[in-house]
Amino acid sequence: MKKFILCTAMVMALGFAFSACEMSLEDVVPEDLGETVNLILTNIPSEPVDPDIISQIGPGVSAFLTQAAEPTGSITDIFGETDPTPTPTPYVPKDGFDLTHFSAVDLDGNEVNEEIFKNYDITMVNIWATWCGYCVEEMPGIADLYKDLPTNVNIITLCDDAAEAKNTAAAILKKAGAEFTTLVGNAQLATQVVDYVSGFPTTIFVDSNGEVVGKEQIGAPRGDVKTAYQNLINSALKQIGKQ
């Protein structure tokens, strides 16, 4: 009789475990024993069940029965986490210009993100718009500078209205002889970059992580555009110890 009571209690505990963790008998019970265990769960027999049947039930059940006797045991301890995939943390932009995390496309439709900076000590980012006369005027000088850059420096531009004026932006860049990447403005770039611009053009300098280095250049520089921007690049390199 004692064997019957113990066996029944063990099988009832097994049934509770399956219900609590949404498992099926097939997960832990050998196939040839399934019919016997199902019979026990649905119709408690009048005769004692051979203890050898219980001893043959899979290791998952044995572990459950062992943990059940210990107050600190849990279903998770035995069967593991049900959903090990962590929930991603939404990115929170920093105050001020932030290019450490972004997603955009260029004028050719290529996807661009912060990885564009990783191979350069300094990247000059010129922020402009097609309706800005000063922006258009300085573009040939920036294009000339790009062709003479050292290998550790890059130039890209961000055209704020390129989504609506893609053909105009492309024509301006072609006329200037520009060969650098130009990002198409979007909602994220507006929030993280353009909203901090006090006038077009504005130029910032970032390191390999997209972190801003030094102060921004507001407006087109006076004098020779190529020389002026080269001096600003050299200043940024000096600030990060790369010159």
Top-ranked range on mean pLDDT: pick from 42-46, 60-64, 226-230 = 226-230
Token duo for residue 236: 């940024």
Q: Let me know the angle formed at the C-alpha of 127 by 123 and 132, rounded to the nearest 5 degrees.
A: 150
Write the pLDDT tens digit of every residue in 111-157: 999 999 999 999 999 999 999 999 999 999 999 999 999 999 999 99
Beta bridge mates, 105: 111
Q: Report H helices in 126-224.
A: 133-147, 166-176, 187-192
| Strands 153-159 and 122-128, sheet pairing | parallel
Task: Break the chain into its structural domains and give their ranges.
Answer: 2-79, 103-239
CA distance 98 to 95: 7
The amino acid at residue 239 is: Q
Q: What is the pLDDT of residue 243?
A: 79
- Going by C-alpha positions, the residue among 230, 240, 209 that lies closest to residue 149 is 230
Write the pLDDT tens digit of every residue in 68-126: 445 555 555 555 555 566 666 666 666 799 999 999 999 999 999 999 999 999 999 99
- Going by C-alpha positions, the residue among 152, 157, 110, 121 that lies closest to residue 138 is 157
Three-state SS string across 21-65, please? HCCCHHHHCCHHHHHHHHHHHHCCCCCCCCHHHHHHCCHHHHHHH
CA distance 41 to 2: 18
Q: Considering the entire predicted model, what is its pTM? A: 0.64
**Mean pLDDT, range 38-64, rounded to an integer:** 54
Residue-level length of the chain: 243
Write the pLDDT tens digit of every residue in 5-43: 444 445 454 454 444 444 454 554 455 555 555 555 555
CATH superfamily, domain 103-239, is: Glutaredoxin (3.40.30.10)
